[in-house]
Structure 1
Amino acid sequence: MILRLAAAAGLALGLAACAPTLARFEQTLAANDSATAALRQWCAARGIAAPAEIVADTEQGASEAATPAVRAALGVGTGEPLAFRHVRLRCGGTVLSIAKNWYVPARLTPAMNTTLETTRTPFGTVVRPLGFHRERLESRRWRAAECPAGTVLSHKAVLRLADGRGISFVAECYTRANLMQGAR
């Protein structure tokens, strides 16, 4: 019991020490409609890897049905097809985010859909020409229930076109690696 209390106190102290860095990370995310762009900036600023390029390692064959809440957020009915990507966004060898992304293929170009299906290019990079904006639905510090251990921040958001139509619903789990100073 004493060891568990000591471990909990040590964790709390460690998390408190990370608070200023976490606040700066949150500001970087808030300043960008694209998590990919934010992670690229963060990776460069923190020296996590050089060059600061973000790659989406996709979980091949991953499939997860969209909930009614996801469909409602995207403004699509049960009959409209959604695509799904489960990715680990990394900079160099460092995983910065684990994300689930449900998107509306009919609202993207055929070339964008092909790129998403066949490459490790992050979603935000692929759809950047659409000029989307991000509507944050939820933000939680530390670990949300659906996130793996080591998560320091989680977001749920909808990416919307200028006309308000949703193109993507994302559930993002940002890792503790975002709080570390990188070594080049």
Structure 2
Amino acid sequence: MRSVRRGTAWSCVLGLGSSLLFSSLHAREPEPSPVWHDDATSRLEALALLQSLNAELLSHPSATLTLERWCGEHHLAPEAKIIAERVQGEDKPLPPEARNQLQIGADEPVRYRRVQLACGQHVLSEADNWYVPSRLTEAMNHQLDTSDTPFGKVVQPLHFRRQTLSAELLWSPLPQGWENAAALSGSTDATLAMPQHVLEHRAVLFDQSNRPFSLVVESYTSQVLAFTPAMTRP
């Protein structure tokens, strides 16, 4: 079941530097995730958590810092620190509407950066980022070219704001029409199956002069729920 695409609709429902080589992405062995049982209580808890994370992302300009707080609050790693792991490879083409969204001409250079944002062994988000280098400082461009520092931390001196274009729940723990069902299953030994990506945000970042300088598409993974559900803790 898909949600309404607009972030405003979501906000009504409920008030994402060390340098690593590309090969390390494949060497990363995720820790076994705690078991979420496929029962009504776990499904309701998972939905509430996804809506809470979505609301946090919508209400703060930096997805990186939001994920760092989320990691710390849910003890996903010994240290709540987000590391951006660069994904090297072919650049994705700029989306057709992006030049209008970034308010740039047909010949304005745009750079592409893809990263995985990880906290400990958990990859929480995969982000595609198209940005206008002429609207960043020389130091920022150098840092983006030569390090794995998260984009949001690099451009923090711009005191940027974030305009959400869409916020979409890619997976709902509750089946469609659950509210009309006589009852949900109360208990089962089965494990709740989760897809790789559970939430997607599209946003444009603006500097203090209200100039757009970045288009981001962030795909949040089910690893954001890689902790023991509260209802099943001893």
Residue matched to 1:3: none
- Partner Cα separation in structure 2 for residue 66 and residue 82 of structure 1: 8
- Partner Cα separation in structure 2 for residue 61 and residue 108 of structure 1: 23
Structure with the larger RCO, 1 or 2 (CA within 8 Å, 6+ apart):
2
Residue matched to 1:60: 88
* Structure 2 CA distance for partners of 1:31 and 1:119, relative to 1, 3 Å: same
- Structure 2 counterpart of 1:28, from 56, 66, 69: 56
Identity across aligned pairs (percent)?
Answer: 40
- Partner Cα separation in structure 2 for residue 154 and residue 23 of structure 1: 12
Residue matched to 1:7: none
Task: Give the gaps of 5 or more residues in structure 2.
Answer: 1-37, 172-194, 229-234
- Structure 1 counterpart of 2:203, from 126, 149, 157: 157
TM-score of the two chains, using structure 2 as the length reference? 0.67
Task: String of CA shifts for 1:130-168, please: whole Å, max 9, x gaps.
Answer: 00000000010025xxxxx51111000001112221111
Residue matched to 1:5: none
Deviation at 1:50, TM superposition (A): 2.3
Correspondence 1:71 to 2:99? yes
Task: String of CA shifts for 1:7-43, please: whole Å, max 9, x gaps.
Answer: xxx6998654411111221122123101011011111
Task: String of CA shifts for 1:21-77, please: whole Å, max 9, x gaps.
Answer: 112211221231010110111111111112111111111234112123111111111
State the Cα RMSD in Å.
1.8
Task: Give the gaps of 5 or more residues in structure 1.
Answer: 1-9, 144-148
Q: Is the 8 A contact 1:28 1:42 kept in 2?
A: no
TM-score of the two chains, using structure 1 as the length reference? 0.85
Rg comparison, structure with higher value: 2
Correspondence 1:137 to 2:165? yes
Residue matched to 1:171: 217
Between the two proteins, the alignment pairs up a number of residues equal to 168
